[in-house]
Structure 1
Amino acid sequence: MNKKYFGVIPPIITPVDKRENVDEEGFCKLLDHCIEGGLHGIFVAGSNGETMALTQKERDKAIKVAIDHVNGRVPVMSGVMDSSTRRVIDNIKSLEQMGGTCAVITSIFYARHTSQDETIRHFEQIAKETNIDLIIYNIPMFTGLKLNAETVMKIAEIDNVVGYKDSSGSFPEFMRCLTHFKDTDFACLQGSTPYAMPSMLIGADGFVPSIAPLFPELFVKAYEAGANKDIDLAMKYDILLRETSKVLGMTKNATSANKFALSQLGFTDKRVIAPQDSIQPEEEQKIIRKIAEINEQYAEMKASLK
């Protein structure tokens, strides 16, 4: 097997300045931090990257900055999701011009979904227009359509569709995909962090946690435990990973929580794009305490393993 996309691949935030333009300097520092911390890839312009809140110009800028600055050190997956097949194809053409090699695609959104087949047609038409890698992204909370395992399997028959990111929260359907794609080059990535370790133990290729840049060593070691099928160790990491997920629930807006948490690294601002709810001072203090608690728990765990 020759998997291109595996390991811990964070859906990276898009740092922005006061005018909601990409903060290129801060973004580059954050990207370096992720790579130096051992994370295995970058997913730019995803939901956590506020991709649909950015202007098209700034969305393209975020993607180009990521591609150029990462410069092949790890794979870069770029979100090209949009509200029609034509719009996605146009986004992919822009991505190709920027040197992008991997596009992440959802079902269309802001539309009345009538069938699973529409998403199969969506990928079939897109694949005719490009030779770059395509990854299926199942995130029904934003698209309004939950892809089932059969649909994913049909889309995967298209030559340049190389992987699947599942943020549906439907673990049984994801398990069906893991069984179907076992011993193939097709990558199955878990998008829900609470399912990350169980998914790894039964054959997932990696997971896509938004908070990973804050705890890169923790997430990489958790991935390694899962990939090595070390059940006892993986379950210890599972407890900590589920604790990290609690950070995102400490505000009304998970993006606000994530951006504030990552701002504690010192590279980026906590700013989210209007009109989203921003974080409140009392929420900030809760997150700071939670980060300290997780770091303390991780230190204790590492000491216990020596």
Structure 2
Amino acid sequence: MAKYYHGVIPPIITPVDEKENVDEKGFRELLNHCVDRGLHGIFVAGSNGETMALTQEQRDNAIRIAVDEVGSKVPVMSGVMDTSTRRVIENIKKMEDFGGKCAVITPIFYARHTSQDETVRLFEEASRQTSCDLMIYNIPMFTGLKLTADTVLKLAKIDKVVGVKDSSGDFGEFQKVLRVYADNPKFSVLQGSTAVSAGSMLEGADGYVPSIAPLFPELFTKMYDYAVAGNIGKTLELNAIVAETQKILGLCKNATASNKFALSLLGFTHKRVIAPQDGTTEADERAITSKVDEVNGLIRKAGLIQ
């Protein structure tokens, strides 16, 4: 039986209008598209959701909308990462006020990291002061601190901690955690690096968190299904197509801009990114559109869509 936090859980973009407020209508349509097409959950207000570029008000608004729109249908994991324990806990309490049930927490950032223990203290205090599920988020490229497997295993023992999303790209460290918790129904091990997701799930990971999954939902969910079933051949066959989807993110200076433009092709949302980030040029957009068409052709050839 699958754990509660499992499968394909995209770190959803945050569509914004010309004033950089959340485009509520487009966001709700995109969220429903994800759920209706079989994705297993939503990660809102993550790095792909431009969480630290949004104002605090709009960040809270994105979480509120996601929880309200699909929180009764699939697990919604909400990013509450911040620069101090107090700020993280305040973010969690706002999320709880909206009905949110799972807070995703990184190590603090924009600070000089002195130890792994500071993150342990952060989770311990969050556990004491809040009532929701807590998800570990290991993303050293943005926090400046890579959580070791030993630290993750220590955090996993804290009350209310329900899993880890590991975007460190360190497969060896990921495997150490997986060996302990692959069969534990109370702790989910999610791969945040799409490049190693197939191998991770074949070894027992509970799912993965690919940013472009809303554009190709059948591909990502089918690869998950094959991996869970232990079908190595089919998993690797679809993983080759998944690898092609990741090339889309590198077709302009800014992976988030590439992602937002690609997802705008669904017709729900605008390509706009929050200033002062680089957006897509016309040449970028032609290249992205061409690559999306190519991937859809590969998906049709694989028999996943008509």
Name the counterpart of 1:196. 197
1:132-143 alignment runs, 5 A limit: 132-143=132-143
CA deviation profile, 1:249-299 (whole Å, cap 9, x unmatched): 111100000000000000000000000001111011111010011111111
Q: Give 3-state SS (helix, strand or coil) of 1:302's partner.
A: coil
1:119-268 alignment runs, 5 A limit: 119-185=119-185, 186-268=187-269
Cα distance in 2 for partners of 1:251, 1:58 equals: 26
> What's the CA shift for 1:183?
1.4
Cα distance in 1 for partners of 2:57, 2:200 equals: 36
Q: Give 3-state SS (helix, strand or coil) of 2:78's partner.
A: strand
Cα distance in 1 for partners of 2:153, 2:10 equals: 24
Q: Give 3-state SS (helix, strand or coil) of 2:302's partner.
A: helix
Cα distance in 2 for partners of 1:132, 1:222 equals: 30
1:76-95 alignment runs, 5 A limit: 76-95=76-95
Paired positions, count: 304
1:251-290 alignment runs, 5 A limit: 251-290=252-291
Q: Give 3-state SS (helix, strand or coil) of 1:128's partner.
A: helix
Name the counterpart of 1:65. 65
Runs of 4 or more consecutive aligned structure 1 residues displaced over 4 Å after TM superposition: none
> What's the CA shift for 1:182?
2.5
Cα distance in 1 for partners of 2:211, 2:38 equals: 15
- Amino acid of the structure 1 residue aligned with 2:192: G
- Amino acid of the structure 2 residue aligned with 1:109: F
- TM-score, normalised to structure 2's length? 0.98
CA deviation profile, 1:86-140 (whole Å, cap 9, x unmatched): 0000001111111110000000000000111111111111110012100000000
Name the counterpart of 1:115. 115
Q: Is the 8 A contact 2:182 2:189 kept in 1?
A: no
Q: Give 3-state SS (helix, strand or coil) of 2:137's partner.
A: strand
Cα distance in 2 for partners of 1:23, 1:221 equals: 30
> What's the CA shift for 1:71?
3.9
Q: Give 3-state SS (helix, strand or coil) of 2:14's partner.
A: coil
Percent identity at matched positions? 62
CA deviation profile, 1:150-185 (whole Å, cap 9, x unmatched): 000000001200000000010110011110112102
Cα distance in 2 for partners of 1:289, 1:200 equals: 30
> What's the CA shift for 1:2?
6.5
Indicate whether 1:8 and 2:8 are aligned: yes
Cα distance in 2 for partners of 1:94, 1:222 equals: 35
Q: Is the 8 A contact 2:182 2:206 kept in 1?
A: no
Indicate whether 1:22 and 2:22 are aligned: yes
- Amino acid of the structure 2 residue aligned with 1:65: I
Indicate whether 1:104 and 2:113 are aligned: no
Cα distance in 2 for partners of 1:117, 1:191 equals: 23
Q: Is the 8 A contact 2:81 2:106 kept in 1?
A: yes
- TM-score, normalised to structure 1's length? 0.98
Name the counterpart of 1:44. 44
> What's the CA shift for 1:238?
0.9
Q: Give 3-state SS (helix, strand or coil) of 2:195's partner.
A: helix
Name the counterpart of 2:301. 300
- Amino acid of the structure 2 residue aligned with 1:101: K
| Structure 2: segments with no counterpart, 5+ residues | none
Q: Give 3-state SS (helix, strand or coil) of 2:303's partner.
A: helix
Q: Give 3-state SS (helix, strand or coil) of 1:232's partner.
A: helix
CA deviation profile, 1:43-95 (whole Å, cap 9, x unmatched): 00000000000000000000000011114110100000000000000001111
- Amino acid of the structure 1 residue aligned with 2:299: Y
Q: Give 3-state SS (helix, strand or coil) of 1:269's partner.
A: coil
